[in-house]
Structure 1
Amino acid sequence: MNLATMLAARAESGRPIRIGLIGAGKFGTMFLAQLRRTAGMHLVAIADLAPARARANLAACGWPAERYAAGSFAEAWQHGTTFVTDDAPSVLAHDGIEMVVEATGDPAAGIRHCLGAIASGKHIVMVNVEADALAGPLLARRARAAGVIYSLAYGDQPALICEHVDWARTCGFEVVAAGKGTRYRPAFHRSTPDTVWENFGLTPEKAARGGMNPKMFNSFIDGSKSGIEMTAVCNATGLTPQPNGLAFPPASCTDLARVCKPAARGGTLTHKGTVEVVSSLNRDGTPVANDLQMGTYVVVEAGHPYVRHCAEEYRMLPDDSFEHMALYRPIHMIGLEIGISVASIALRGEPTGAPNGFRADVVATAKRPLAAGEVLDGEGGYCVWGRQMPADRSLALGCLPLGLAHRVTLKNPIAEGQVVRWRDVAIDESDPGVRIRREMEAVFARPDALPA
């Protein structure tokens, strides 16, 4: 617990962590709000497709104008200020930057930026969990080969869940389940940007006031984001997905150990050592009391009568048998916490979660009957949602990853609830995102590529 002390030492020695940020949207701006107040960090540059918007977001989160008035990299470097540009490759290549935070949310762009950072010898914090779900295992492998660190972003739920799992194993517990909460009903799989605010429990006016993007927020409601994030967790922790993906059982914070355990022991899971997302809504739409909608959790086994007695004595949120115990965090602070990743990498040489195998995938699944000739519109859109699936099954079926189900034309009709396969769409095999995904599938299909 000494990252702040180590950051202060870097500041005092005049050697702050030199950072480049790609993407100054909501997540990036939340990071900026805390970065300006964190000793030992210097944001050398921001790359955003709309530099004027990036400057407006800097102002909105409290940055004085003189701190981002630099007209060049050299000026930013010399005066400790920040250069704002729309030229992401120049940020990736700049010698004065040691770490890149990728926060665009676009899987193709995220892969491109990650590869550029690795080629330039820079560590990468991958806020872009969409890119991680699409090709993270291969990207992390390339980073390790290049001697740099690839990391999930602390503050986002996958990294926090990875921390729960690491805590449990370090304490000698066997992990039964880990995951997060969300707002879910089965009908939400058909949600579109036109129905998202009703399903989200927000008025259109409140959504507009918050500048919320309906397509992005729809990915939270239709189940896609949950599939993406739990895929990242499986690939980073060794937990394995359930055969049919996430079931989204309703559960309160105090019921986690009763619900998130194998069905053979009275719970809802198919097996031990898996992931699950719990719903803050009952199936009839009524709210779950004391819900975990914004939080994360882990359920562990006691493993011995003495530990079961401890679980009872100290009220460790056990199930009725005291064999299963839960630990949860009620909230996550998203981009406000990403400084933990930056500091952990630069000062300890440790990622805050990173994929080490290809165990899970998130595949495009039809929201409604789809006709040949329709053009898919990707995550959070009108056509498909992302279902989590074991990676070996996804490969065997030839499923189309959700991250590539954007601006591609269907060759075959797809029934509602059915997965889309590579053979069902017209794919440009020269597309960089397609090429890197194909490479990952080829690499990790080999038995020797999987973790022991």
Structure 2
Amino acid sequence: MLSERNAAGRPVRVGLIGAGKFGSMVLAQARKIDGYQIVGIADLDGAKARAALKRTGWNEEEYAATSLSDAHDTGRAFVTEDAGALCAFEGIDCIIEATGHPIAGTRHALAAIDGGKHIVMVNVEADVMCGPILARMARERGLVYSMAYGDQPAFICELVDWVRATGFELVSAGKGMNFQPEYRYSTPDTVWGYFGWSDEFVAKGDFNPKMYNSFTDGTKAAIEMAAVANGTGLDCPDDGLGFYPAGLHDLAQVFKPASEGGRLPTTGLVDIAASQEPDGREVFNNIRYGMFVTFKAPDAYTRDCFEQYGLLTDRSGWYGSMWRPFHLIGLETSVSVLSAVLRGEPTGTPREFRGDAVATAKADLKAGSFLDGEGGFATWAKAIPARISTAHDALPMGLAHHVKLKRDIPRDQVVRMSDVEFTEDLDVVELRRRMVREMGPKVAEAAE
């Protein structure tokens, strides 16, 4: 489809917002795909964007366009600090939002919808906070709002589709990651110790401690699994993710209901396959970089086929697992763009407000102190069902930054919206509240 469009002189034209690691990986592959043009790259730091282009093999002439119109006409790319202009430019088909900033990402998505653009939402932080209503708004305009192929949530959605399209009974889905219980309270000051990195090693690299800490303390896992719940109809566990240690050979045994000898409270959940045991030992055949689904054979004949064709199953043979071992993030995101523009299909998208990632105190927090967002010192994100988070009036992790606490919050307690004072970002706060009103569990129950 792309070849035919390219032959007709109509390349798929893309705008990229955010030139960090993910954006750099997008840029690295874009030049290798005939008929796929990055028209503009928007970043608040233009020098950073140009450095990313140079680092990923672009020649200066290739990003020397003097405007978006010039880029459109010449096939070169234009570097700008104005993301809004990128979203408004008529010559762009699709926006990739890769800033990782939940507030900015939400605003960029709204601007892209207003500009008639498909959206590939790398920004899972924004997606889990407001994605269901943003996706609905996009669909109402005939646009695609998509998870990013290459990132784990999109691949999990793909595996879930596979289970349902083959007629198996979906039991659970999730991803692997490095986790131990004490990581929950990691801070930007302690995170490098969990990686085993010295101060000298860290000083030599361009490492963001808050970003790495978000992966370490389980916040990123909560955000991604809540997004998967919204895209698949699976649920988050009522008391948060279990982070059960499991390797490939044990996925089907571990990620099935406890009533069947597994570790899940019930069927139909998302969760994490930890790559380390609680005592720090490495799990054999772990899937630290992978994604998985577990499923059940509908009858004895299919169970026998599982055995005959070598599927990894639980001890009973009724439950099986399928997985993808790696994800290459931005190197694969062009698949989402092409699916949206050429097929009109997302590679995973939030269909309902079912899961939530809510701010939870890392320590005893005092009234008058400020929350510092994802990967910070104050809170970690807990993945719970939206029916629980909305009943609790829980603060989504995406809004847990630069807000002042009105009262003391003890460690491990979920922070409420009413516990904090909002003075900025009120447009996004209202969009979130609108989503709860219009798409929350009570609304879904009434519709049923």
Aligned to 2:376: 381
Q: Counterparts of 1:289-368 in structure 2 under 5 Å?
A: 289-368=284-363
Report if the CA contact (8 A) 1:19-1:42 is conserved. Answer: yes
Structure 2: runs of 5+ lacking an equivalent: none
SS in 2 for 1:167: helix
Q: Aligned partners of 1:266 and 1:441: how far apart in 2?
A: 36
Report if the CA contact (8 A) 1:295-1:332 is conserved. Answer: yes
1:218 partnered with 2:213: yes
Q: Counterparts of 1:74-223 in structure 2 under 5 Å?
A: 74-223=69-218
1:416 partnered with 2:427: no
Q: What per-residue deviation string (whole Å, max 9, x for no partner) do you get for residues 15-43 of structure 1?
A: 11011111111000001000111111111
Q: Which residue of the other structure, out of 438, 444, 450, is the alignment partner of 2:433? A: 438
Aligned to 1:236: 231
Structure 1 position 428, deviation (Å): 3.1
Q: Counterparts of 1:14-29 in structure 2 under 5 Å?
A: 14-29=9-24
1:51 partnered with 2:58: no
Percent of aligned positions that are identical: 52
Q: Aligned partners of 1:446 and 1:187: how far apart in 2?
A: 33
Q: Aligned partners of 1:147 and 1:208: how far apart in 2?
A: 48
Report if the CA contact (8 A) 1:9-1:40 is conserved. Answer: no
Q: Which residue of the other structure, out of 397, 403, 406, is the alignment partner of 1:402? A: 397
**What is the TM-score with the length of structure 1 in the denominator?**
0.97
Report if the CA contact (8 A) 2:437-2:443 is conserved. Answer: no
SS in 1 for 2:244: coil
Structure 1 position 66, deviation (Å): 0.6
Structure 1 position 203, deviation (Å): 3.8
Question: Alpha carbons of 1:382 and 1:448: their partners in 2 closer, same or farther (altered >3 Å)?
Answer: closer
Structure 1 position 197, deviation (Å): 1.5
Report if the CA contact (8 A) 1:117-1:124 is conserved. Answer: yes
Q: What per-residue deviation string (whole Å, max 9, x for no partner) do you get for residues 333-355 of structure 1?
A: 01100011011111111000000
Report if the CA contact (8 A) 2:354-2:441 is conserved. Answer: no
Question: Alpha carbons of 1:430 and 1:293: their partners in 2 closer, same or farther (altered >3 Å)?
Answer: closer
Paired letter, 1:321: S
Q: Aligned partners of 2:176 and 2:362: how far apart in 1?
A: 22
Question: Alpha carbons of 1:107 and 1:323: their partners in 2 closer, same or farther (altered >3 Å)?
Answer: same
1:246 partnered with 2:228: no
Aligned to 2:62: 67
Report if the CA contact (8 A) 1:47-1:85 is conserved. Answer: yes
Aligned to 2:367: 372
Question: Over aligned residue pairs, what C-alpha RMSD do you find?
Answer: 1.3
Question: Alpha carbons of 1:205 and 1:326: their partners in 2 closer, same or farther (altered >3 Å)?
Answer: farther
Q: Aligned partners of 1:50 and 1:429: how far apart in 2?
A: 23
Q: Aligned partners of 2:197 and 2:310: how far apart in 1?
A: 36
Q: What per-residue deviation string (whole Å, max 9, x for no partner) do you get for residues 176-235 of structure 1?
A: 010001111111110001111111344444444442211011000101000000000000
SS in 2 for 1:46: strand
Report if the CA contact (8 A) 1:108-1:432 is conserved. Answer: no
Answer with 137-146 or 206-215: which moved more: 206-215
Q: Aligned partners of 2:205 and 2:168: how far apart in 1?
A: 41
Q: Aligned partners of 1:325 and 1:153: how far apart in 2?
A: 27
Structure 1 position 142, deviation (Å): 0.5
Report if the CA contact (8 A) 2:43-2:80 is conserved. Answer: yes
Q: Aligned partners of 2:21 and 2:38: how far apart in 1?
A: 17
Question: Alpha carbons of 1:327 and 1:236: their partners in 2 closer, same or farther (altered >3 Å)?
Answer: same
Question: Alpha carbons of 1:59 and 1:188: their partners in 2 closer, same or farther (altered >3 Å)?
Answer: same
Q: Aligned partners of 2:442 and 2:190: how far apart in 1?
A: 44
Aligned to 1:391: 386
Report if the CA contact (8 A) 1:429-1:435 is conserved. Answer: no
1:288 partnered with 2:283: yes
Paired letter, 2:273: V
SS in 2 for 1:413: coil
Paired residues in the alignment total 447
Q: What per-residue deviation string (whole Å, max 9, x for no partner) do you get for residues 117-153 of structure 1?
A: 0011110000000000101000001101111110000
Structure 1 position 446, deviation (Å): 6.6
SS in 1 for 2:22: helix
Structure 1 position 154, deviation (Å): 0.5
Q: Aligned partners of 1:111 and 1:25: how far apart in 2?
A: 18
Report if the CA contact (8 A) 2:173-2:294 is conserved. Answer: yes
Aligned to 1:3: none
Structure 1 position 56, deviation (Å): 0.7
**What is the TM-score with the length of structure 2 in the denominator?**
0.97
